[in-house]
Amino acid sequence: MLWLKLLLACCVVLFSVALGYFAAEKFRNRARFYTQLHDFNERYLNELGYARKPLSSLLDGYAGNGDFQKTLRILAAEHKISLKYSYLTDEEKKECANYLSMLGRSDAHTQREYFGGQRNGLSEKKSACAKVAKEKGELYLKLGLLAGLAFIILIV
């Protein structure tokens, strides 16, 4: 009978830790989105300076993954900006929509100035989101563990 209680206790703790992990997923997704946006900005600046590929081939050839890649695919295929992600605030959606709407809109010099100006803001946002994702991820895991342990104490 003791082994059954221990098995149940382990299952409860694992379940609550898993809930904590999945609760922090939005922060990890947000950090991934801004990391990919920052990396795309750097790649686009390099393309503007050296290769100057057409925008459609650059968007099709971008080897990212996740939500940012989906946004670029929709932009390349339908010429429409789709940012329907719950982890982005309305202000962040507007900023990203403005950023994506500027792709290929003017001459290379003006675009280099605009996207070069975005470099610092994106790197700060990337590091801030990574920091928040780490902090919230650890917090939610610890809260899940503590909730599981509290539930076990209440049951036993």
Return all residues near 67 (Cβ < 8 A) that are at least 6 apart: 29, 32, 33, 85
Tokens of 82: 């789709």
Give the HSE-up count for residue 93: Cα atoms under 13 Å, Cβ half-sphere: 10
User: Cα angle vertex 94, ends 118, 89, to 5°?
Assistant: 105
pLDDT confidence of residue 108: 75
Question: Hey, where are the domains in the chain?
Answer: 26-138
pLDDT confidence of residue 38: 92
Q: In terms of DSSP H, where are the helices of the chain?
A: 2-23, 25-46, 55-61, 67-78, 90-101, 108-155
Tokens of 89: 């605030």
pLDDT in tens, the chain (156 residues): 888 888 989 999 999 999 999 999 999 999 999 999 998 888 888 877 776 667 777 777 777 778 888 888 888 788 888 888 889 889 988 999 888 888 877 777 888 888 888 889 999 999 999 999 999 999 999 999 999 999 999 887
- What three-state secondary structure class fits 98? helix
pLDDT confidence of residue 100: 86
pLDDT confidence of residue 16: 95
For the stretch 81-93, what's the b/e string if a residue is b when 16 or more beta carbons lie within 10 angstroms of its beta carbon? bebebebbeeebe
- What three-state secondary structure class fits 87? coil
Chain center to CA of 134: 13
pLDDT confidence of residue 105: 77
CB 66 within 8 A of CB 33: yes
pLDDT confidence of residue 31: 94
Judged on CB neighbours under 10 Å (0-12, 13-18, 19+), 23 is middle
Chain center to CA of 117: 21
pLDDT confidence of residue 156: 75
pLDDT confidence of residue 51: 63
